[in-house]
Structure 1
C-alpha cells in the first residue's frame, strides 16, 4: 500500500470515508468466489472448514482461486481498516474546526452519513474475516448473531441521530438550498440505512433460532423501509434540481448511488426470504427471487446508463480520474462497480441458475461471471488509482466539498 495518510485538519471531508467503504466492498467481492464456487453444506455461507476441505480436494485451478480469494479479502480488509482508522482520527479533529460548523449548517450536512455507512460495512467485513480465517466459528455463531444485531442497531441509531439533527434544522428553520441540490448526494442517508439493513438481515437467513431470525427480520425491515422512503424523496428532489440547473460537476458520481443501494437491498430481501422459508413456513421459491433480482438489475442498468451519459458529457472521468483534478467525491465511483459486480453474481447464482435458465459452471455461466470479474477488476484499479492520487501527493486538499 504505497501511500501515506496525511493529517488534513480543516481540509478533511467526511466523504473520505467512502475510500474505506470501497475497500471493504472489494473484500466482499473476493468472498463471493468462495460463496458461489465451493460447496458449503449445512449453512448458507462458506466457513473455514468448507474452504479447507475444498482446497485439499481441489485441483490446481481451485487452489489458485481460493488463494486469490484469500489474498483479495486480506488485502482489501487491511486497506479498509487502515482507511477507517485514519478517517476516524481525522474526523475527530475535523469536528473541532470551523469547517465542521459550516458543514453542519448547509446541504452538505448529510455527508456525515458516510460515517455510519462505513461503520456498517466494517461490521460486515469483520464477519467475513471471521468466516474465512477463524476455525469452528460456526459452532458459536448463534451467540454472535445477537451481538452483531446490537452493533448494527447502534450504528443505525447513530445514523438516525445525524438525520434528526439535519431534518430538525431544515424542517424547522429552513435553509435547504434546492438550487445546489443538483445531484443525488442527498441519497447518501438512504445508502447508509440500507447498509445497516443488510447487516441486520443476516441472522434472518443464517440463524437456526426462530426468535433471532424474527428479530432480525423485523429490525432489517424497519431500516429497509426507511431507506426506500428517504431515497425516494432525495431522488425526486435531486432530479428536479438537475432538470433546472444541470448536474453539479463534482457531485456527478452520486448519479450512480442508486446502484449500490439496489444491491444491498436485494441481498437483504434474499436473506429475509430465506429466513421466512426456513422458520415461518413461507414457500416463496426460485421464481420469486429471479423476478426480484431481474427487476433490481434492470434498475441498476437504467441508472448506470443515465449516470454515464451525464458523467461523460461533463468530462468527469478525464478531469477527476485520468486528469489532475482531485475531489473526494470521486470515491463514489467505486461503489457502483463493486455493487453491480456483486449483484450480477447473485443474479447469476440465485436467479438464473436456480430457475434453470443456466447450468452452473457452463460456458454461459462463466461468460456472465466474466462481466462481474471485469467490473471487479475495474473497481480494484480505480481504488488504487484514487488512493495514489489523493494520498501520494504532498498536498491533498480537495477542491470543493462535493456533496453540496
Structure 2
C-alpha cells in the first residue's frame, strides 16, 4: 500500500481507522501459520526459539511457510502502525473542522469507535511481533502481561467514554437518533471495539502461569465480552427493523458482515478463557465440545457472509466501490470479515477437527479446508492493496461518506 496522500485526508472519516485494523488482522492471519504448523510443546503459542528450531530442522515446505509467515507479519505489522499513525494525525486535524461537528451530532458519531478498535488491534499485533522476532521474550513475559492489561484498560476506558457520549446524547431525548439512517450494521462498531479489547484482556488467561494474572484476565475479559454480546444483539435487532423498512444503506452495506469479525474475536476470547480455566483452575472441557463450539461460530459467520454477499451483489457495490472508480471509507469494512473468516477456519480445523480426531493433521482433508482459510486471507490482502490505491492514490475519484 502506498503512503497515504491528501486524497483520503480531504474527505476524512474515522472509518479509515479500519485500514489500520485490516492490516493488523492480516498480521494475525499470518501468525496462524506459525501457531498451528510450528511445534511449540509446553507453550500455548510459538515463540522465536520454536520458530528457529522448526526452520533449522524442518523440510522445505516448513521453511517456506515460516519465511512467508514472518515476512507477512513484519510487513503488515509495519503497515498497521503506519496507518494508525496517519489516522491519529488526520483525526486530530479533522476534529478542528465543521465536518467533525456534524459527525458528532449524527448517527455516524459511533464511527469514532473505529479508533480504539484499531488501537486494540495494534497492541495485539505488537505482542505477536514480540513473540515471533524477539529472542528470550518468554522469559520475561509474566512482567509484560500486567503492562498489556493496563494498555487494554486505557483503550477500554476511551472506548466506553466514546460510547457513553454517543448513547448519552441519543438516549437522553427523542428525535436525536435518525432511525431511517440506521439501515445497516454500522452501529455494531462499538460492540466490535469492546470485543477487541475483551480478547486482548483474555490473552494472559491463556498464557500466564500466575493465578492472580489469570484471574484478572478472566474477570475483565468476561465483563467486556458480555457487554459486547449484549450491544451486538440490541444494535443488530434494531438495525434489521430499519433495513426491512428502508432497505440497506448502499455505502454502509459492507457492515452486514461485521458480525463475522465480532464472532471470531469473541470466539478466540472464549478459547483463551477455557485454556486458563483448564491450566490454572482445573476446569476441564473436551476437544469434542470445542469442535462443536467452533462449528456453531463458523455457521453464524457463513450465514452473515451469505447475507452480505447477496445484498452487496444486488446493490452492485463491488462494481462501484471496489473495482470501480468510486470511493467510500466504508469499503474498508470488507477486509475484516475476510481476515476473521480465515482465522476462524484455522481454529476450526486445528482446535476442532484435528484435536477431536476427526481428521489427521496435514492430510488431504486438512489442506483442503485450510486452503479455504488461505484463500480468504488472500482476498483480504488483495482488498488492502486495491483499496489503498483507490483511497490513498493520486487519481481522482468520487468520495461518498458512509455511516
Sort the TM-score into its range (normalised by shorter chain).
Answer: over 0.9
What's 2:325 paired with?
324
In structure 1, distance between residues paired with 2:4 and 2:94: 19
Secondary structure, counterpart of 2:250 in structure 1: coil
What's 1:48 paired with?
48
What's 2:181 paired with?
180
How well do the aligned residues superpose, as a CA RMSD in angstroms? Answer: 1.1
Gaps of 5+ in 2: none
Secondary structure, counterpart of 2:183 in structure 1: coil
In structure 2, distance between residues paired with 1:144 and 1:312: 46
Mean Cα deviation higher: 142-151 or 279-288:
279-288
Alpha-carbon offset, residue 60 of structure 1: 1.7
Mean Cα deviation higher: 236-245 or 4-13:
4-13
Gaps of 5+ in 1: none
What's 1:386 paired with?
387
Q: Is the CA contact (8 Å cut-off) linking 2:22 and 2:335 kept in structure 1?
A: yes
Q: Is the CA contact (8 Å cut-off) linking 2:21 and 2:121 kept in structure 1?
A: yes
In structure 2, distance between residues paired with 1:288 and 1:5: 49
In structure 2, distance between residues paired with 1:134 and 1:207: 18
Q: Normalized against structure 2, the TM-score is what?
A: 0.98
Number of equivalenced pairs: 402
Alpha-carbon offset, residue 41 of structure 1: 1.3
Alpha-carbon offset, residue 397 of structure 1: 6.7
Matches within 5 A, 1:281-296: 281-296=282-297
In structure 2, distance between residues paired with 1:231 and 1:268: 16
What's 1:122 paired with?
122
What's 2:267 paired with?
266
Q: Residues 54 and 320 of structure 1: is their aligned pair in 2 closer, same or farther, counting only changes over 3 Å?
A: same
Q: Is the CA contact (8 Å cut-off) linking 1:207 and 1:213 kept in structure 2?
A: yes
Q: Is the CA contact (8 Å cut-off) linking 2:7 and 2:393 kept in structure 1?
A: no
In structure 2, distance between residues paired with 1:30 and 1:253: 24
In structure 2, distance between residues paired with 1:64 and 1:157: 42
Whether 2:207 is the aligned partner of 1:232: answer no
Q: Is the CA contact (8 Å cut-off) linking 1:11 and 1:397 kept in structure 2?
A: no
1:36-69, Cα deviation, whole Å (9 max, x unpaired):
0010112100000000000110122211111101
In structure 2, distance between residues paired with 1:87 and 1:308: 29
Q: Is the CA contact (8 Å cut-off) linking 1:20 and 1:79 kept in structure 2?
A: yes
Q: Normalized against structure 1, the TM-score is what?
A: 0.98
What's 1:206 paired with?
207
In structure 2, distance between residues paired with 1:256 and 1:326: 19
